[in-house]
Amino acid sequence: MPVGMRILDAVAHKRGFDIGWQSFDWSCERYANSGEMMPADGIEQLADFDAVYLGAVGYPGVPDQVSLWGLLIPIRRRFDQYVNLRPCRMLPGIQSPLAGIGAGDIDYCVVRENTEGEYSSIGGRMFAGTDREMVVQETVLTRTGTDRILRFAFELARSRRRVMTSATKSNGIMHTMPYWDERVADIGRDYPDVRVESYHIDILAAHFVQRPKQFDVVVGSNLFGDILSDLGPATTGSIGVAPSANLNPEKTYPSMFEPVHGSAPDIAGRNIANPVGTVWAGAMMLEHLGQTEAAVAVLAGIERALAGDGPRTPDVGGDASTEAFGDTLLQGVLDELEHAAPNSRASQNFR
Ligand code: IPM
Ligand code: MG
């Protein structure tokens, strides 16, 4: 987070605007001390901000369902951040684990439904502790929730290469997934210019590895989108580079920007985490707030920094600290601001 904030502040300064930060210690540490991940009125406290920039949450000793259902997931839901937009791009200067993949060869966005689906609080446990113990967890797809995520994905595809891949599993899951397919077909009629490809999630996962170049926009339910958005960035060399935007597109509520990866407690506090995902998420935040030129400069600056042979973090084969590599990123962004002609890059962070 410090690297991200530093870079965003620098770019804001150069472009003549200010970012007013307020930090909250809402964390597993706070939970350990007070029994709450965030205060009871945490959502109300955030409601007046333009955006939330979130570090990774979770730590051993606090059950994941406590730390996540006590912070991240309520924020996504209460602020109706129904789009989780997760660009996946093969950046320069990083080695893909896949053969024959160079910079730019992988370039798609996972559009993940972010408020319902498999992440549902409907269900429960009966006969706990007996031989008849049973648990039920219901997947919830609403028409509102399904249609709006599909429309977002179609619109995004329209602004890119006009191919939309739908992640389904209607051969095995007999109610929700045929419904999903039905909604894809129905909404798709409004987008005759976008080619729709539909794959069952199992073979889609295989194609992410075997032919990742073909994808443009990939839309999926909450769980499918979650899984694909770890797999995709892994094929680009490190999940540490992956950003995400939890968007409330109507801007009724603040949106939230965070790296895709988890809290990685094994490396916490060691100053070796790759900050690219966090910085790129910051660029998406700038874009959401209307600072498109600054946003474009941040991503271009990341690419510029990576294209040189400067330091790297260990996840991508280097031995630099987060901080040292952060300096390189900052320099890349400053160089970009200095040298790039305004609007030299037509493409935006995720378009
Ligand atoms: C993500 C994460 C979260 C999710 C976890 C931490 C609850 O994996 O943002 O992808 O599943 O949404
Ligand atoms: Mg995930």
For the chain, the domains span 1-81+238-351, 107-235
Query: Is residue 202 flagged as an active site residue?
Result: yes
Residues 6+ away with beta carbon under 8 Å from 55: 1, 258, 278
Per-residue model confidence (pLDDT) at position 172: 97
Per-residue model confidence (pLDDT) at position 21: 98
Residue with tokens 């606090």: 62
Per-residue model confidence (pLDDT) at position 347: 46
CATH class, range 1-81+238-351: alpha beta
Is the domain spanning 107-235 CATH 3.40.718.10? The answer is yes
Per-residue model confidence (pLDDT) at position 336: 95
For residues 70 and 245, give the distance between their C-alpha atoms in angstroms, rounded to a whole number.
19
Give residue 309 CA to ligand 2 midpoint distance, Å. 30
Query: Is residue 230 flagged as an active site residue?
Result: yes
62, 120, 226: which to mutate for ligand 1, most atoms within 8 A of CB?
226
Q: Which amino acid is at 5?
A: M
Task: Classify residue 117 as left (phi > 0), alpha (psi -120 to 50) or beta.
Answer: left
Give residue 64 CA to ligand 1 midpoint distance, Å. 10
342 burial via Cβ count (<10 Å: 0-12, 13-18, 19+) = exposed
Per-residue model confidence (pLDDT) at position 132: 98
In the predicted model, what is the mean pLDDT of residues 102-109? 97
Phi/psi for 199 (5° steps) reads -130, 145
Q: How does pLDDT run across 272-329, given as a tens digit for each residue?
A: 999 999 999 999 999 999 999 999 999 999 999 999 888 999 999 999 999 999 999 9
Q: Which has the higher per-residue pLDDT, 351 or 76?
A: 76
Give residue 158 CA to ligand 1 midpoint distance, Å. 27
Where would I find the H helices in the chain?
2-15, 28-34, 42-47, 64-67, 73-78, 143-159, 176-188, 201-210, 222-235, 276-288, 292-307, 322-339
Ligand nearest to C-alpha 223: 1
Q: Is 1-81+238-351's fold the same as 107-235's?
A: yes
What percent of the chain stands above pLDDT 70?
A: 97
The answer to whether residues 232 and 225 touch, using CB atoms and an 8 Å cutoff, is no
Query: Is residue 226 flagged as an active site residue?
Result: yes
Closest ligand 1 atom to Cα of 76: 12
Q: Whose CA is nearest to atom 7 of ligand 1?
A: 68
Per-residue model confidence (pLDDT) at position 263: 86
Total Cβ atoms within 10 A of residue 181: 15
Q: Whose CA is nearest to atom 5 of ligand 1?
A: 68
68, 75, 82: which to mutate for ligand 1, most atoms within 8 A of CB?
68
Is residue 237 helix, strand or coil?
A: coil
9, 105, 230, 327: which one is catalytic?
230
Query: Is residue 64 flagged as an active site residue?
Result: no
Residue with tokens 């973090």: 313
Residue 33 has pLDDT above 70, yes or no: yes
The answer to whether residues 104 and 96 touch, using CB atoms and an 8 Å cutoff, is no
Residue 346 has pLDDT above 50, yes or no: no
Residue 191 has pLDDT above 70, yes or no: yes
72, 88, 263: which to mutate for ligand 1, most atoms within 8 A of CB?
72
Query: Is residue 181 flagged as an active site residue?
Result: no
Residue 348 has pLDDT above 90, yes or no: no
Give residue 226 CA to ligand 1 midpoint distance, Å. 7
Per-residue model confidence (pLDDT) at position 117: 98
Q: For residue 340, what pLDDT band results from cuts at 50, 70 and 90?
A: confident
**Closest C-alpha to 54, from 35, 81, 33:** 81
Q: For residue 341, what pLDDT band results from cuts at 50, 70 and 90?
A: low
53, 169, 216, 315: which one is catalytic?
169
DSSP 347: -
- Please count the residues of the chain: 351
